Structure 1
Amino acid sequence: MSISREDIEKVALLARIRVDDAQIPALEKDLGNILTLVGQLAAADTDNVEPMAHPLDAVQRLRPDEVTESNQREAFQAIAPATENGLYLVPKVIE
């Protein structure tokens, strides 16, 4: 399978990639080889092939949903520059 110069220029424009005119012949060859390989892979008969793994078959071990740290809110707010009603006060950045 081959790819034309126009296709390369169109893809480069869509991808916002600058491609020099000197690079286009090499890209035509390389991308043509890649598309040929993809075509060969697509032509492979996989009807009787069982999948080796699937991400949805995985089972994660979950830890219990329990509190593991103590509440240190008062200690953290004691060292904060400014707090009010349990909230941290920060300088206004948007007018």
Structure 2
Amino acid sequence: MSVDAATVRKIARLARIGVAETDIAPLASELSAILGWVEQLAEVDTSGVPPMAAVMPKPHVWREDAVTDGNIRDDVLANAPEALSGFFAVPKVIE
């Protein structure tokens, strides 16, 4: 795939990147080369390769999905600048 100067200008405008007019031609050739490498990846036969979530196989550790409060209320409230009746105390913002 070949990238022309108009496409480089459009990409720069969409990305909100200022590109000098003298840099457009070199940038177009660099983007064309990058897209050429990506096209080479499409030629690789991956039909026998199973999809992966990670590079290294890792067993899933499942836990019971139960809602708890964590039993650490006092530890959490210790970080608050002010606590009142077991809750964070915040200044009133609406009158």
TM-score (norm 2): 0.63
Name the CA distance, whole Å, in 2 between partners of 1:80 and 1:94: 20
Higher RCO (C-alpha under 8 Å, 6+ residues apart):
1
TM-score, normalised to structure 1, is 0.63
Unaligned runs of 5+ in 2: none
Which runs of structure 2 are paired with 1:8-87 in the superposition (5 Å)?
8-42=8-42, 44=43, 46=45, 49-51=47-49, 54-55=52-53, 59-63=59-63, 73=74, 76=77, 81-84=82-85, 86-87=86-87
Which ranges of structure 1 fall in alignment gaps of 5 or more residues? none
Shift of 1:88: 2.7
User: What is the number of equivalent residue pairs in this alignment?
Assistant: 88
The verdict on how the C-alpha distance between 1:72 and 1:34 changes in structure 2, with shifts beyond 3 A counting, is closer
Task: From the CA coordinates, give the structure whose radius of gyration is larger.
Answer: 1
**Percent of aligned positions that are identical:** 32
Deviation at 1:10, TM superposition (A): 0.5
